[in-house]
Amino acid sequence: MRIRYLGTGASEGFPGVFCQCPTCVEARLHGGRNIRRRSAMLIDGVLLVDLPPDLLSQSFEWKIDMGAIRYLLVTHTHHDHFYAAELANLRAPYTLSSTREKMVVLGSVAVWERMVETLGAEELIRLEDVLSYHELKLFEPDTIGPYTITPLKARHCPGAFIYLIEKDGRVLLYGNDTGFFPEETWDYLAGRRVDMVSMDCTNPLHADTPNHMTLEDNVTVKRRMFQQKSATAHTRYMATHFSHTSGLLHRPMEDRLRLYGVGMAYDGLEVEI
């Protein structure tokens, strides 16, 4: 699987869109990897994980043909991860391509409910030629094209999933947004080899909510996965979904993570597993 992180920031972005704290001022000044759009991942150019409101600028930044996306996998319905109104742009006159395959939206029933709420029943009927919805069930593997996708329970909001994504014998655990994994998720993961873990690290130094993870949580996830034989010495760990409230820019946060064998994702990072 060829993976590109399109966005690695929390809901307000990094720097925060309206924030003038010292960290955000420094991020704007230095730019580069300190700039984080809302979180999303693109796999093999065809599987998009989450649909943030920054998708248009992300496509410009990395010259991505978003028209080639065949599958949209949604973790949960918070606005920074599922900007459902964007889906209206799949049809004419907003899109003039007449030969594109349908995009399949995958997620919990809450995802479908948000689509109905945002787009309305009439608009969804107009989109039927270019868009379809496939409901995923918790802990039930589902084959979608070349991928096997298994929703796992997240500690976040109602209907939120994290995912095991498998292709050609390689396995990615996409682990945000969530607090420390619920026990049901740990039970499912026990003994299942994972090649890469992408972990929530919204609040690296202090946990102000139970539905995101800290650096300490990331280290505990890494240790527990190894203990229960979900990971090997070759498993790769990446932290993502950072908030400016940590007070840390990219380099000092990267240095802290490196001490524990955890990589730091940044917008545009490419990984192959």
Residue-level pLDDT at 36: 98
Residue-level pLDDT at 205: 87
Mean pLDDT of the chain: 96
With a cut of 80, say whether residue 11 has pLDDT above it.
yes
Q: Alpha-carbon distance 165 to 143, whole Å?
A: 10
Residue-level pLDDT at 4: 98
With a cut of 70, say whether residue 99 has pLDDT above it.
no
Q: What is the pTM for the complete model shown? A: 0.96
Cis peptide before 54 (omega within 30 of 0): no
To 10 degrees, what angle do helices 250-258 and 215-227 make? 30
Structure letter (DSSP) for residue 11: T
Q: What is the pLDDT of residues 156-211, one digit of tens each?
A: 999 999 999 999 999 999 999 999 999 999 999 999 999 999 999 998 887 667 89
Residue-level pLDDT at 25: 98
Token reading at 127: 């989109």
Strand order through the sheet with 2-7: 131-135, 103-107, 71-73, 47-49, 40-43, 2-7, 270-272
Q: What is the pLDDT of residues 121-160, one digit of tens each?
A: 999 999 999 999 999 999 999 999 999 999 999 999 999 9
